Structure 1
Amino acid sequence: MRGNRIEEYPDDFWIPIPLETNNITALSPYLVPQDHLGSKALFYSLSAFMFVLFVAGTAINVLTIACTVQYKKLRSHLNYILVNMAVANLFVSCAGSFPCFYCFSSRHMALGQLGCKIEGFAATLGGMVSLWSLAVIAFERWLVICKPLGNFTFKSEHAIFFCGLTWCCAMSAALPPAVGWSRYIPEGLQCSCGPDWYTTGTKYNTESYVMFLFYFCFAVPFSCIVFCYSQLLFTLKSAAKAQAESASTQKAEREVTRMVVVMVLGFLVCYLPYTFFALWIVNNRGQTFDLRLATIPSVFSKSSTVYNPVIYVLLNKQFRSCMKKMLGMSGGDEEESTTTQSVTEVSKVGPS
């Protein structure tokens, strides 16, 4: 067993946390199973869960992209952003969930040091694109319904610009650990990789990187989402109050309110555990914690590849109608009619 001085460990060895946590080990996660961290049943259960995420996430996001390619009516500015998020989710599913399934089944980081860096970078990049896409969707809804810019029209070229912007923002968050500001190392049960928020006092400046992630990749998009959706709800409630006699307007207001609550909760479920845990580690150096708990934020963030499409795509009646048609299921025409009526009612809510 080595000492707890971080400088004693070479860069290719896992240096997670001080010895006081009782989790440090001389068994490299790149070489041997980490059975000292959990039972085989735990590793295999997480492996099965990651496989489910991979299959479900790949299927639903591929279907989203295929529907948009096949049905021209889906190629609206909002759906461009949804497809952008589907591409990011597909990236995480294939480059994040599947490698984790393989590593959990092997009970260690069987991909090696380079594979760890690639998996960590890919999962971070795709996750950040998805996160910023949620903020762009909220911003787009605010512009279209609340009309703060008057007669400004959010067009497809605007959507494409913001899609490109999400990848730039994501790259600014995912690239630094690959070039020396923080780094990608095994996390939790040592079967997935992410930015280093364990170590302190090293040349990698991990604390500053964690704070950068918190402010730029959580606080900013979350503030945008809360502001835009709160303004949207205020506008809808004002219109519903002015049209109290219209049952359809009241119904549209209730449906949008329910969807906004679900969207915000989905965002928090996906990214709050990771944010909270990273901040707790940075501000409580030397405190004892169970490494199994460190796996939970990673699992929650990767599960967004499934529930984000459910919230933003499958709850979109137009998307759902086209998916049913593509899969040869009935009910598409009826839902198309319902969608048209719903869109009409919501458009009436916004100020002229």
Structure 2
Amino acid sequence: MKSSYATELPEDFWIPVPLDTNNITAFSPYLVPQDHLGSTGVFYSMSAFMFFLFVMGTSVNVLTIACTIQYKKLRSHLNYILVNMAVANLLVSTVGSFTCFVCFAFKYMVLGPLGCKIEGFTAALGGMVSLWSLAVVAVERWLVICKPLGQFSFRNHHAIMGCALTWVFALAASLPPLFGWSRFIPEGMQCSCGPDWYTTDNKYNNESYVLFLFGFCFAVPFTTIVFCYSHLLFTMKMAAQAQADSVSTQKAEKEVTRMVVIMVIGFLVCYLPYATFAMWVVNNRGQSFDLRLATIPSCLSKASTVYNPVIYILLNKQFRSSMMKMIGMSDSDGEESTSTQSTTEISKVGPA
């Protein structure tokens, strides 16, 4: 169903569908099921999907944190950043995904305006911590492998500082809607919440907030990731050419290239739909669009709580072998030694 833009809306209220009704409260996502946006089957399917994200996202991220606590060998500077990401993902899955599971089951934002604000804020906070953690991982890989600062050594306290910055940046971006710069309201099928980038109410300065999010929370980390991984690929390529006869170096170059491609694609899948949709709305004020489309970016961002750990943690042989050992599926440390050897080979390719 199509919707136009509204410029005057009651506090904590969403755009009614359609706008030309004389009884707009009949469509309030805080009061009644939003049956006009989809069939019962669609809502229940979304509820099941959110339950899957809740269970899988919570499980894999709890396991990541538990493994790091139990196995001292995992407490490296890179793994600190991955655990930071796991904590952020856990926040999104336990609050964001679970809330959406309940609301899709009832077919409206049954938790009310306060629940909407809580879900929107926690999902935004956790998502942005995870996003900035991806940038910190890229910087760490660039510093360790490419050695742009010569003999500078990236240590645990640097990783802790990087993790702290991700929370500072995330709070700087997710707190403003709670204090009047934009606001958290129902989005898409009205069963999840996010910053208001639909309306043009000057009271909330929504457009400036969207531009801030696009620049600070998408363009900057994405540019950082592309810059760092581009240099990483170049360094690996040069090392492979210089050591054309080294099977281990050639293998390391292929592994790093594959991982970089997967990481960049994962980042874009997480955040490009949100950034693209929001910027399209800002630059096409007055044009109608299907409200249900806004559910897609929300689902993709929440799904990152599952596929980000797969990319950054489960592809880490040391983490993977420790997880398997913790759940009783493996007693062998063979993969750990393989991982250590592979890491050593990759770390040696940088300039002295």
Q: Answer whether TM exceeds 0.5 for this pair.
A: yes
Matching residue of 1:38: 38
SS of residue matched to 2:36? coil
SS of residue matched to 1:273? helix
SS of residue matched to 2:110? coil
Contact 1:4-1:18 within 8 A present in 2 as well: no
Matching residue of 2:298: 298
**How far apart are the structure 2 equivalents of 1:342 and 1:285?**
52
C-alpha root-mean-square deviation of aligned residues, in Å?
1.6
What are the within-5 Å matches in structure 2 for residues 2-41 of structure 1? 6-7=7-8, 9-15=9-15, 19=19, 26-41=26-41
Contact 2:56-2:306 within 8 A present in 1 as well: yes
Matching residue of 2:93: 93
Matching residue of 1:112: 112
Contact 1:17-1:286 within 8 A present in 2 as well: no
Contact 1:16-1:199 within 8 A present in 2 as well: no
**How far apart are the structure 1 equivalents of 2:336 and 2:16?**
53
1:318 aligned to 2:318? yes
Contact 2:5-2:286 within 8 A present in 1 as well: no
1:53 counterpart letter in structure 2 = L
**How far apart are the structure 2 equivalents of 1:141 and 1:17?**
48
Matching residue of 1:168: 168
The Cα shift of 1:331 comes to 6.1
SS of residue matched to 1:332? coil
Matching residue of 2:266: 266
Matching residue of 1:156: 156
Write out per-residue CA displacement over residues 302-347 of structure 1, whole angstroms, 9 at most, x where no aligned residue: 0000000000000000000111110111263221121122112112
**How far apart are the structure 1 equivalents of 2:350 and 2:123?**
38
Matching residue of 1:340: 340
* Structure 1: tracts of 5 or more residues without a match: none
The Cα shift of 1:12 comes to 2.8
* Identity, % of aligned positions: 75
Write out per-residue CA displacement over residues 234-284 of structure 1, whole angstroms, 9 at most, x where no aligned residue: 001001100000011001000000000000000000000010001111111
SS of residue matched to 1:185? strand
Matching residue of 1:253: 253
The Cα shift of 1:287 comes to 1.4
2:181 counterpart letter in structure 1 = W
Contact 2:132-2:166 within 8 A present in 1 as well: yes
**How far apart are the structure 2 equivalents of 1:252 and 1:148?**
20
SS of residue matched to 2:185? strand
Assess, with a 3 A threshold, how the Cα gap between structure 1 residues 129 and 5 changes in structure 2: closer, same or farther.
closer
**How far apart are the structure 2 equivalents of 1:95 and 1:193?**
12
Contact 2:189-2:292 within 8 A present in 1 as well: yes
Assess, with a 3 A threshold, how the Cα gap between structure 1 residues 37 and 17 changes in structure 2: closer, same or farther.
closer
**How far apart are the structure 2 equivalents of 1:16 and 1:314?**
43
Matching residue of 2:143: 143
**How far apart are the structure 2 equivalents of 1:43 and 1:73?**
44
1:259 counterpart letter in structure 2 = M
**How far apart are the structure 1 equivalents of 2:109 and 2:340?**
50
The Cα shift of 1:17 comes to 8.4
**How far apart are the structure 1 equivalents of 2:16 and 2:171?**
25
Matching residue of 1:225: 225
Matching residue of 1:242: 242
- Kindly report structure 1 stretches of 4+ aligned residues shifted beyond 2 Å: 3-7, 15-20
The Cα shift of 1:25 comes to 7.2
Write out per-residue CA displacement over residues 284-304 of structure 1, whole angstroms, 9 at most, x where no aligned residue: 112121111110000000000
1:191 aligned to 2:191? yes
SS of residue matched to 1:36? helix
The Cα shift of 1:72 comes to 0.3
**How far apart are the structure 2 equivalents of 1:94 and 1:5?**
33
The Cα shift of 1:349 comes to 1.1
**How far apart are the structure 1 equivalents of 2:95 and 2:62?**
15
* Structure 2: tracts of 5 or more residues without a match: none
**How far apart are the structure 2 equivalents of 1:4 and 1:258?**
43
**How far apart are the structure 1 equivalents of 2:177 and 2:264?**
28
Contact 1:138-1:225 within 8 A present in 2 as well: yes
The Cα shift of 1:19 comes to 3.7
Write out per-residue CA displacement over residues 110-156 of structure 1, whole angstroms, 9 at most, x where no aligned residue: 01000000100000000000000000000000000001111111110
**How far apart are the structure 1 equivalents of 2:336 and 2:6?**
64
Contact 2:80-2:160 within 8 A present in 1 as well: yes
The Cα shift of 1:16 comes to 6.6
Write out per-residue CA displacement over residues 183-238 of structure 1, whole angstroms, 9 at most, x where no aligned residue: 00000000000000010142100000000000000000000000000000000100
Output the TM-score relative to the length of structure 2.
Answer: 0.95
SS of residue matched to 2:11? coil
The Cα shift of 1:166 comes to 0.2
1:281 aligned to 2:296? no
